[in-house]
Chains A and B, each alone.
Chain A
Amino acid sequence: MAPLIDDDPRIIEFDVRTDEMLVNMGPQHPSTHGVLRLVLRTDGEIVSEVEPHIGYLHRCAEKIGENLTARQWIPYTDRMDYLAAMNMNLGWSLAVEKLMQYQVSERARHLRVLIAEMGRIASHLVGMGAYGLDLGTFSPFLYAFREREKILDLFEEACGARLTYSYITVGGLTADLPHGWLRKCEEFLDQFEPIIQEYHALLTTNAIFVKRTAAIGVMSPELAIEYGCSGPVLRGSGVDQDMRRDGESIYTAMYEGYAFEVAVMKNGHYPRDHAYPPVPADAILGDCWHRFFVRMLEVVQSMDLVRQSIDRYAACKGPLGEPVKLTEKIPAGDAYLETECPKGQMGFYLVSDGSAIPWRVRARSSSFSNLAVTHELCRGCLIADVPAIVGSLDIVMGEIDR
């Protein structure tokens, strides 16, 4: 090796350069929402690069799906987005029904809307509470869980499970609602509605919360579309898309006759803006605050939909209908269907060779695409912003790794 001479510019450069540090955030980190591993390249407190590593929760769900019948795979969809298992059940059921060209009864349709929207509320409550946790406030998390607990109680009464329901299934639902369930559900909604104002006071309008989230992790609509983001992450950037309105007919038919406004900022304000806290002056469209706020608005929207579906379901006098046989043969062909899950657009793809067991099963996860954008958003932010940004994407590792 050649000896270094005194005026070698490299020596000076080496002396004054502050070194970069590689830090592992996760997979055992408290704020990575499960087993996500982020490799941060930091210079002091400033993060120059974030690289998400996934795969710690991989359970070969898709491969298992190729060895089970369509209905048998329903419990595996429960374990994808375990915070919104009802919506996962629905997505897979609808995809299979699309291939089978199966039409569920009117009563089952309204019940599905009811259950799916309740699932959305539960999921957004966790998203909201966990986001507070990411920002260092513990109490809203427990307030959110307090309400979610009531939804879980309702679900438990309906289907017997509190987390992995397998309630919505191919051809309808496994059981009808028990007697008195609708009244309890309405009671819950009446009691929940004023509590949302408390969440707004604790988080949405809290000065420190706004400081921590406004203008942090700004994602332009173009970037969001480029990365295939969906759900509240996409709508938080101002893109007006919601599968419940823009999706395929088999899915939108479910919501036919329901009145709802997509929670997205249009002409400088959100729908139902009048009743909710104004957007803070510091917030930029597409930042963490907007992603959070869209979720809060969707909770209200879902409550509205639940109320509508309760009326419709109660008015339906026809039978609920039985789900398909466990070993029902699926016609040969393939089908892909995306549904609007709380975290985004969850797509299920299946290819059938005509037997009861699908030949190929694939799931397209919304959290996967939403997570991919992390390294764009976290470039040049502070370490404290990394949990704020990742938290605002509201990912669930079970869905990403499947």
Chain B
Amino acid sequence: MADFLINTVGLPEWLAWTVTAFVAAALILNVIAGGALVFIWAERKIAARIQDRLGPTRTGGRFGWLQSLADGIKLLAKEDLMPEGADGMLFRLAPYISFCASFCAFIALPFAFDFVGQRLNVGVFFVVAVLGLEVFGVILAGYASASKWSLFGAMREAAQVVSYEVPLGMCVVVPVMLAGSMDLVTIGEKQAGWFTGWYLFHDPFTFVIFWVYVTCAVASVNRAPFDLAEAESELVAGFHTEYSGLRWSFFFMAEYGSMFLVSALAAVLFMGGWNGPIPVATLLGLSEGTGDTANYFVRLIGCGNLVLKATLGVLLMMWVRWTLPRLRIDQVMTTCLKYCTPIAAAMFAGAMLWQLAFPGGIVRGLSRPAGEIREGWLEGPGGLPVGRGTLMRKSAAAGSSELLAEPLADAKSEAGIDSQNVVQVVP
């Protein structure tokens, strides 16, 4: 898009980039916020169905699909209350911190091969780190509210989220290790092909660690059964007890944004990202440079794939929330420190040894060797990883044993990605 602005419209380069950045930011923000509205509606409908109710039925004609929007307007119109004795500035700031942290992380999340706000060579790290910032908003909210219940909620959140960062980090490291890159686009691209190539099915350790990741992800976004920070039966409403109106809805949006984010991250890291279970596009010969339109179409499908997988993750969280009771704070910490962390560590070590023992994957031809793909990078134009068609051809042509990774190749490819940092959402 920046190229288009510079070459066709004739804008100066800095202005073109700024405009592009704004467009990309607006796109991400609105898509995710709109998504959050849909998820809020979906949660209400799903919860209702689980509980033998109907949920919203009238707003927007049928199925109450406009209910979230109507609620949003209601919240806009509500009086903005702030408790006496609250720390005004922090109280007002807190929801925005949560909201920003949750939505910022989407910058590095690839929706399809090239559909990413900003391709980062440390994408995984960025997403996990920025998501971790969300806790600051919660702590600030609890501290600034001048309410004891809020404070309890904030303290619980702090303890919980900080603890769960540890196993979460270990879970995330495994796909990074398998792919040899922290770039989310690369990680996703490496799982191209049949679903057997997904890291979820890479080896037994990754399969187990996927479920550990799910547990930790649910805990780190504060969903039941780990929703201690807002445990309504104990802490009234936890950290957002004193919030009302739009500020409260910002917390809500942040929660749903984070839910989608961790699910999408799980999809990219373990479930092949934007690659469908069956490489339809490759089988049809669509991905191999059959023109820009076809490429664009394939990416759009990939985007749908990722959203579908992430939505499944979100639905799983909703299902769990409306089924299970809440854990107690000490049990939450036990789950983290006595189960999740050791299991994650063991699985990490296991996956590492597995890589050492079966570098080419255990079923040759189904799961493709890591070294081969790494070789493939060099073939791509401008250091970008090549499309799957090329990879398939390469794998057929060359034996896998001689294609183990070399440090040089690694360094080269990293540098190549660096120089290609900016990839537009809209070509």
Cα A23 to Cα B323 in complex, Å, equals 30
Q: Which segment of B124-132, B228-236, B293-301 sits at the interface?
A: B228-236
Given A29-B236, A208-B225; A139-B50 close (CB under 8 Å): yes
B233 touches A135 (CB 8 A): yes
Q: How far is the CA of A386 from the CA of B235 in the complex (A)?
A: 11
Determine whether the beta carbon of B233 is less than 8 Å from that of A136.
yes
Within 8 A of A (CB), among B216-267: 224-225, 227-228, 231-236
Instruction: Report chain A residues within 8 Å CB of B331.
Output: 211-212
Report whether A382 and B233 are in contact in the complex, using a CB–CB cutoff of 8 Å: no
A242 at the interface (CB under 8 A from B): no
The distance from the CB of B252 to the nearest CB of chain A, in whole angstroms, is 17
**Which of B52, B149, B225 interacts with A146 by CB under 8 Å?**
B52
B329 contacts A206, CB within 8 Å? no
Q: In whole angstroms, how far apart are the Cα atoms of A206 and B52 in the complex?
A: 20
A31 interface hit (Cβ, 8 Å): yes
Minimum Cβ distance to chain B for residue A293 (Å): 15
Interface pair B327/A208, CB less than 8 Å apart: yes
Q: Which of B326-351 contact A (CB under 8 A)?
A: 326-331
- A391 to B325 Cα, complex, angstroms: 14
User: Are B325 and A137 in contact (CB-based, < 8 A)?
Assistant: yes
The contact of B324 among A23, A137, A143, A382, by CB within 8 Å, is A137
Q: Are B231 and A136 in contact, CB atoms less than 8 angstroms apart?
A: yes
Q: Point out the residues of chain B lying under 8 angstroms from A97, CB to CB.
A: none
> Do A384 and B329 touch (CB < 8 A)?
yes
Does B41 touch A at the CB level, under 8 Å? no
How far, in angstroms, from A63 to B421 measured CA to CA in the complex?
Answer: 81
Q: Is B152 at the interface (CB under 8 A from chain A)? A: yes
Cβ–Cβ contact B149 & A23, under 8 A: yes
**Quick check: is A56 within 8 A (CB to CB) of the other chain?**
no
| Residue of chain A at shortest CB distance from B322 | A139
Q: What's the tally of chain B residues with a CB closer than 8 Å to chain A? A: 30
> Are B329 and A138 in contact, CB atoms less than 8 angstroms apart?
no
Q: Which residue of A lies closest to B232 (CB)?
A: A30
The interface residues of chain A lying within 8 Å CB-to-CB of B228 are 384
Please measure, in the bound complex, the distance between the C-alpha atom of A29 and the C-alpha atom of B236, giving whole angstroms: 6
Task: Check: B148 CB closer than 8 A to any chain A CB.
Answer: yes
- Complex interface: chain B residues within 8 A of A253 (CB): none
Q: Which residue of A lies closest to B227 (CB)?
A: A136
A398, CB-defined interface residue at 8 Å: no
A132 — which chain B residues lie within 8 A by C-beta?
Answer: 325
Q: A146: which B residues are within 8 A, CB to CB?
A: 52
Q: Which residues of chain B come closer than 8 Å to A203, judged between CB atoms?
A: 325
Contact present for A384 and B231 (CB under 8 Å): yes
Docked complex: A127-141 residues within 8 A CB-CB of B:
132-139
B51: interface (CB < 8 Å)? yes
Indicate if the CB atoms of B326 and A138 lie closer than 8 Å: no
In the bound complex, how far is the Cα of B50 from the Cα of A133, in angstroms? 15
Contacts of A202 in B (CB 8 A): 323
List residues of chain A with CB within 8 A of the CB of B227: 136
Q: Please tell me if B47 contacts chain A, counting CB pairs below 8 Å.
A: yes
CA distance A202 to B234 in the complex (A): 21
Which residues of B, 140-181, contact A by the 8 Å Cβ criterion?
148-149, 152, 155-156
- In B300-329, the 8 Å CB interface with A consists of 322-329
- What residue in chain B is nearest A22 (Cβ atoms)? B148
Which of A23, A143, A384, A385 is B52 in contact with, Cβ under 8 Å?
A: A143
Q: Is the CB of A385 within 8 A of B51?
A: no
Say whether B148 contacts A21, CB under 8 Å: yes
Scan A130-168; emit 1 where CB is below 8 A from any B CB, else 0. Answer: 001111111100110010000000000000000000000
Which of the residues A21, A206, A387 comes within 8 Å of B233, measured between beta carbons?
Answer: A387
Check if B58 is an interface residue, CB within 8 A of chain A: no
Give the residue name and chain of the A residue nearest to B328 (CB).
A384
CA distance A211 to B323 in the complex (A): 15
Question: With an 8 A cutoff between CB atoms, is A45 at the interface?
Answer: yes
Would A212 and B52 be within 8 Å (CB), given that A136-B225, A136-B233 are in contact?
no
Q: Which of A21, A30, A138 has its CB near the most chain B CB atoms (within 10 A)?
A: A138
> Once bound together, how far apart are the Cα atoms of A145 and B330, in whole Å?
31
B74 at the interface (CB under 8 A from A): no
B53 within 8 A of A: yes
Name the interface residues of B93-138: CB closer than 8 Å to any CB of A: none
Across the interface, which residues of B come within 8 angstroms of A135, CB to CB?
233, 325-326
Report the separation of the CA atoms of residues A383 and B323 in the bound assembly, to the nearest whole angstrom.
22
CB of A255 closer than 8 Å to a CB of B: no
The answer to whether B234 touches A31 (Cβ under 8 A) is yes
Residues in chain B within 8 A of chain A (CB atoms):
47, 50-53, 148-149, 152, 155-156, 224-225, 227-228, 231-236, 322-331
- Residues of chain A touching chain B, judged by Cβ–Cβ distance below 8 Å, are 21, 23, 29-31, 44-45, 132-139, 142-143, 146, 202-203, 206, 208-209, 211-212, 382-387
* 9 A-B residue pairs with CB within 8 Å: A23-B152, A30-B233, A132-B325, A136-B233, A137-B325, A146-B52, A211-B327, A211-B331, A384-B329
| Shortest Cβ-Cβ A-B pairs, 7 listed | A136-B326, A31-B233, A135-B325, A142-B51, A137-B325, A384-B328, A208-B325
